[in-house]
Amino acid sequence: MIALGENRYGKSRVRVMRVERAGERHTVDEWNVEVWLKGDFQSCFEDGDNSRILPTDTMKNTVYFLARGSKAANGEGFATELVTYLLNNNPQVEEAGANIAATPWAHIRAGGKEHGTAFIQEGARIETATVTCSRDAKPTVVSGFRNLAILKTAKSGFAGYIRDKLTTLKETHDRLLGTLASGEWKYAADGVDYSAARARIMDALLNTFAVHDSLSVQQTLYAMGKAALETEPGISEINLSMPNKHCNLVDLSPLGADNPNHIFVPTDEPHGSIEACVRRAG
């Protein structure tokens, strides 16, 4: 016997640029929105009966409509508004979810001060927010980031590892440590100021990365996750991914020159993959 399994449908890559105008100082939010629905859609999949289906084009329009009137200060707030609206207006839906990838923009400094209406994109970093909510339940909020490029040129080494006949890597106590990090954390409480919590968590992660005396990427990842949990009591766990973007020391001896950890070749293929979840015990 063949049966339909777990399923959902929705709309992806709904692009929104929201401009808030407060006199001569504006703020911008750039969001890439994904939204999805779960429910009893078996008749659509198996029989082509669309009577319980909200068109994905309507979902796209819902994003724009709600963005126009939204007072949300961040992606977490807007995603919560979005899933709540969809549940309240679609009784056939059992669960709604939304993911928002936000591109941060900062005011350009011109003439020694921030310009009110001109902006610069803050690198390749993306801020993420995912909200899911089942009917008659509280929303689950997960925040995070991806494409965070960070590098340290001191306090990083790698030694004492397993060596076998295929090992060619040389031990080092002074190397470059670079990564394109991503992370997500889950909130354990309601009423969180998501923007303030994000700022505290990012400060904890970056400060720990900078000052930690790293014996491995794994050790530094754990120290960063531990610091985030100690800094922000409103989160229950944090998942971090820190691929090791290698910077290989160039052998300049054939050219008659030394290289005291001065010239490197950055490469990201192949790279080490290090991932872990750090959570509160008990």
What residues are labeled active site?
11, 56, 246
The answer to whether 7 touches 40, Cβ cutoff 8 Å, is no
CA distance 108 to 115: 6
Q: Name, in order, each residue with C-beta under 8 angstroms of 136's C-beta and a sequence gap of 6 or more.
A: none
CA distance 19 to 27: 6
CA distance 103 to 131: 18
Return the C-alpha torsion angle 49, 54, 56, 58, nearest 10: 140
How far is the CA of 196 from the CAs of 38, 85, 191, 192, in angstroms? Answer: 31, 25, 12, 9
Closest-CA residue to 234 (of 271, 270, 174, 188): 188
CA distance 72 to 20: 11
CA distance 28 to 105: 7
Residue count of the chain, please give it: 282
Biggest CA–CA distance in the chain, Å, is: 77
CA 210, chain centre distance (Å): 20
Task: Give the count of alpha carbons within 13 A of 142, CB side only.
Answer: 14
